[in-house]
Structure 1
Amino acid sequence: MSVDHPTFVDLRIKASDNHLTGDAEPFGTGGRIAEIRAGACEVLAVTIAAGDGEAYEDRGDLWVLAQDGEILLTYAQQELILSPGTSAAISRGTTFRWRTERPVAMIGMRYLDAVEGTHGIFAIDNDAPLSPSNSPALDVLTSPVPSCRSNSMFRSTGDEFLCGIWDSTPYQRRAIYFQHCELMHLLEGEVTFTDESDRTATFSKGDTFIIEQGARCTWESYAHVKKIYAYFKSTK
């Protein structure tokens, strides 16, 4: 979908686009940057060959999701294995090692304006306990108020970039304007979006997608939804 019209983008399809550009350090030359409206963030498609290496994340706070394959990340005495459908955040200024026995495909989102804070690798636990969180505003809902829960397991120093887990009972709402930008990986359920041009897309368990900054779209879910999120909150 054209970046001239902000909307929802299927990132597994986008990752196969031969026109992606640039590199996706800190994992060497196997990464590319997608042309996506993501505010102060960049979205990455990363392919890593079997092997190992030392890396330094100096461009920002980086969230990565394993799509295919398995990778071991090591920081100090901490070891974290990412398998398909699991993710972690790597804070700016962190030096770490990685190792993989077979090629790995990952999706990433990097907050470029991150202020260097506590170094480390922060696991986003898919089974972490969740606490009640705000539901959509009453004036946009077209269904009963849902019950929503979340757990932000990584926050940038200024809270502009958050990564964690969210779930909700079913709900439907009218189109809203996304001043922010949110990348999602569905762990459970199914969601349908419709944008202001009446384009519609449905994403299901296992799908990874992003709502671009500036999009206007609806939300329709008719079953329990649980997702991993990487969320850029614009302050402008």
Structure 2
Amino acid sequence: MRSTFTVVTPAADPSLLTIEQLRAAAGLVAGDASRDAELTELGARVSADIATACQIRGDGVHVPTLRSEEVREVFRQRGCDDVLFLARRFISDLTLVEEAGTALIADDTDLDAEAGLLQRISGTRTLTWLRGDAVVEYTAGFETVPPDLVGAAMDLARLRLSEGATDPLEKGRQVEIPDVETVRIDRWVGAIPGSSSGPVPDHITAKLGRFMNVAIA
């Protein structure tokens, strides 16, 4: 079930990589700030591409991110659902849960924080959410980016940097020296072999499985 989704407090920095990590991806020595502006922009693009690949939901105002944010969701209940599929996962704090205008306490709900699944319970029984609005306010995402996510972001940053130095559409190059130099370049038409159509190549996408959301109609 789709919800009305709002970012209440956006991440101070939505980037998955620190400037030190971006410098390392670029092969710079520690403390070399000569390319910081370029690398900061690259970090923002890499993080946005990964958020897209992981289907991180945004509110149309703030950049979707896997970093920690305070969010609010409103589900219009029909009185037949027993699980709320929250838009964000890796939940660190469940601030408020309201059911049809009534605030619930912690013992009224059961949360799978990593999966982002919220159930209405009574003791050991699972209940159906009452008809009306179910309001959930929570904090989700990472304050400290986990190593496997950093690794995937570093791989993508290195790839983007290498693409800046070479033409990824170049299939082959032939140079003739005699009289005047002649250069013939063959380019790929359509998808590049071994690449994906999305913003993140398949071999990096495979490392993001733990962080990917499943679209819920």
Whether the TM-score (by the shorter chain) exceeds 0.5 is no
Q: TM-score range by the shorter chain?
A: under 0.3
When normalised by structure 2's length, the TM-score is: 0.26
